[in-house]
Structures are given as structure tokens and as C-alpha cells.
Amino acid sequence: MTNLANSSRGRLIAYWVTTALVAFQLGSGGAGDILRIQPVVEGMAHLGYPGPLLRDPRRLEGPWRSGGARPALSPAQGVGLRRHGV
């Protein structure tokens, strides 16, 4: 029974570490888009985004990416773990 408890605890820790990394990436990437940090703008231009899209203050990509960090960290996400057998 101890192995099962350790395995379950390990999976839970791995889930939250991975989730935190994804949420950090979403939040920091969105912040870079909102603040129009120069390396972010250059990187998007290199990927082929059109210039007006990069300069438009009403662009929604930054707020949407930053907003994506919140549901990734919400406790309701843990419900899916039981459904998928984790």
C-alpha cells in the first residue's frame, strides 16, 4: 500500500510542477506581448507576424495568454486527474 501512496503522491507533484511551468510560460509570454518587449517583438517579426499586428495596442494575444495562466492553476483542474486515472 505504501508504493501506491508514493506513486500517487509523485504523480501529483509532477502534475503541479508541470502545471506551474506551463502557467509561468503563459503568464510571462503574455506579459511580454502586452509590454511589447523588444526581443518578443523581434521574435514575432522573425516568425512572420505582420507589422501592424505587432504594433496594434488592441491586440488580444497578450491578455489571452496571460489570462490562460489562471485556469491552468485553478483547483478544478484536479478533477480531470481522477477521470483519466492519474
- pLDDT tens per residue across all 86 residues of the chain: 466 566 788 888 888 899 889 889 888 888 887 788 888 888 888 988 777 766 665 566 777 777 777 777 776 555 555 555 55
Question: How many CB atoms within 10 Å of residue 26?
Answer: 20
Domain residue spans of the chain: 2-74
pTM of the model: 0.62
Quick one: which H or E segment has residue 49? none
Cα–Cα separations (whole angstroms), residue 57 to 33, 36, 60 = 10, 9, 8
Contact assessment for residue 19 and residue 73, using Cβ atoms and an 8 Å cutoff: yes
pLDDT of residue 66: 75
